[in-house]
Amino acid sequence: MIRLLTILFCAALIAVAIVWIVDRQGDLIFTVDGYELRTSASVAIGFAILFAAFSAFATRVAALAIGSPWALGRWVTSRRLRRGNEILSRGLVAAAAGDGVEARRHARKAGSMLGAPPLALLLTAQAAQLDGDERGQTDAYHAMLEHPETEFLGLRGLFMQATRREDSEQAMELAARAHALKPRAAWAANALFDLKSARRQWSDAKAVLESAARAKLLDPGLARRRRAVLLTAEALDHEGRGEGERALAAALEALNLSPGLAPAATLAARKLSQAGRAWRAQDIIEAAWAQTPHPDLASAYAEIKPDEDVETRARRLNGLAQLNRDHFESRMVEAEQAINLAQWAEARRVLAPLAQAFATTRVCALMAEIEQGERHDAAAAHSWLSRAVRAPRDADWRCSNCGWNTPDWHAVCGNCGAFDTLAWSAPAADTLEMMPGAAHDERLGMDSTPPSFLQAPGEMGETTERVPSRTPWRKDGDGMGDGDRGFVILSRQPDDPGPGGYDFDPEPVAPGGGNS
């Protein structure tokens, strides 16, 4: 409708112009060599219009005649480019579908028609990858480095090849170049961080971590945790080189970021104790114990005051255990101090929830000591020691990525090289039993928080990268006293029948009755 109105409007304008020209009065006289030409004004205007139109047409024809070779060349180039892009698209589709033959054929065609544009190089690399042609991939990736559009993609391809060859030197060089090119690329930052930390280059790893944090590639809590782990590793290296002050400074900085990091707390407490700052050392260990109890923390806590008597030390360590009373390590500390004071009934009561069920090697050893010290029952003590041989292993530093275990903490797993995957945990059991009175989650019908010494990495009060445990839970039907409320123990394994053919007795047997 609008187009029709436009045509009618233009026709009306032309008609008005013609009428206006015809209505013009007057004559136009030309005198040339004694000849006189006379015409009306309207005819003269009409001739002028025709002459202008003819001149424009002649000029256009001349321009086309002169520029036709170039126009023909542009048309041919455009057609070739369009055809090459079609072939390139088909090749990319074939590569995505895993058709290496078609991808390679289209890659050759696209290369001959288009030369080496970025997408053609990408298709060539993919076709070589489908064929298993490492050399062809390498050549294509190196060619990509020459184009700004594909330089980052080429770096990633070369990095993946270096990783498969386990060439850490080249992998680090390529990751550093990719990170410098695009600091917001997560794979480059993570790869460079892992390579730096695996080589114990803690300062460089911290620089990469800070760059990734500024680019918001990491959760703030995870960034704090990683920085704390790097500082702890740095502190341990300083201590190994005899640089005590630097070790203490790095450990304290790590604890400011992660107060529950046991290796940092242990190192800082020992250094502070040696410097005569016992109260500060105690505060650090107590803060760490409240989050993640660990045997090294208890040892460092005892060493703060080496000259105190047994009763004073037991009272102080029991106070430490009360900061996280339902934890396995807290129970062990209480039992050990009761044994040191020859309080056999108290030691037996504390160990009852552990000894009745899935007793570990340490629990069995303590029970043997109780039997020998309280009753002088060598047979019962031998039975517990025999059970200790086949008992499940106690907690140690275990990698959540590969399962590697070690008695000493490291920032990087010594087996798989993963960063911050070591957690103080016991080997996983098939089933966990929950004591009555434990915290209950009505939505799940089960205890929502396992004891921290059994928790998988990522559940120990720290922000980590590891996957939470998926261990099933079930509720126990046996009643326990108020002193055992909320403690979670392990079920007995089929190959762990219990202490030597008799039921565990948490209290001494009265004279004249029961087993001896």
What does 367-426 look like in DSSP terms, one character per residue?
HHHHIIIII--HHHHHHHHHHHHHSPPPPEEEETTT--EESS--SB-TTT--BS-EEEEP
Query: Residue 72: inside a domain, yes or no?
Result: no
Least confident of 295-299, 331-335, 501-505: 501-505
Which CATH number does the domain housing residue 278 bear? 1.25.40.10
- DSSP, collapsed to helix, strand or coil, labels residue 474 as strand
Query: Residue 458: inside a domain, yes or no?
Result: no
Rg from Cα positions in the chain: 42
Residues 6+ apart with CB under 8 A from 208: 179, 189, 192, 193, 196
Query: Residue 176: inside a domain, yes or no?
Result: no
What percent of the chain is modeled with pLDDT above 70?
A: 70
Q: What is the pLDDT of residue 81?
A: 67
What does the chain come to in residues? 516
Q: What is the pLDDT of residue 488?
A: 32
Q: At residue 476, does pLDDT exceed 60? A: no
Q: What is the pLDDT of residue 112?
A: 62
Say if CB 413 and CB 399 are below 8 A apart.
Answer: yes
Query: Residue 234: inside a domain, yes or no?
Result: yes
Q: In this structure, what is the dihedral angle of CA atoms 211, 215, 216, 222, given to the nearest 10 degrees?
A: -10
Query: Residue 475: inside a domain, yes or no?
Result: no
Q: At residue 154, does pLDDT exceed 50? A: yes
Domain around 274: 219-307
Q: What is the pLDDT of residue 71?
A: 60
Give me the chain's average pLDDT, please.
77
What percent of the chain is modeled with pLDDT above 90?
A: 37
The Cα–Cα gap between 270 and 267 comes to 5
Average pLDDT score over residue span 162-186: 91
Average pLDDT score over residue span 503-513: 44
Query: Residue 420: inside a domain, yes or no?
Result: no
Q: At residue 128, does pLDDT exceed 50? A: yes
**Count of the separate structural domains present in the chain:** 1
Query: Residue 183: inside a domain, yes or no?
Result: no
Q: What is the pLDDT of residue 456?
A: 37
Q: At residue 490, does pLDDT exceed 80? A: no
Supply the angle between the helices 202-214 and 186-198 in degrees, to the nearest 10. 160
Higher pLDDT: 447 or 362? It is 362
Q: At residue 233, does pLDDT exceed 90? A: yes
Q: At residue 298, does pLDDT exceed 60? A: yes
Spacing of C-alpha 413 from chain mean position: 15
Give CA angle at 457 (454, 458), nearest 5°.
115
Query: Residue 289: inside a domain, yes or no?
Result: yes
Helix-, strand-, coil-residue percentages of the chain, each rounded to 5 = 60, 5, 35
Least confident of 185-189, 380-384, 453-457: 453-457
Q: What is the pLDDT of residue 123?
A: 72
Higher pLDDT: 20 or 445? It is 20
Q: At residue 504, does pLDDT exceed 60? A: no
Q: At residue 460, does pLDDT exceed 50? A: no
- Under the banding of pLDDT at 50, 70 and 90, the label for residue 357 is low
Least confident of 172-176, 191-195, 335-339, 488-492: 488-492
What are phi and psi for residue 488, nearest 5 degrees? Answer: -110, 130
Q: At residue 241, does pLDDT exceed 70? A: yes
Higher pLDDT: 418 or 49? It is 418
Least confident of 37-41, 293-297, 333-337, 357-361: 37-41
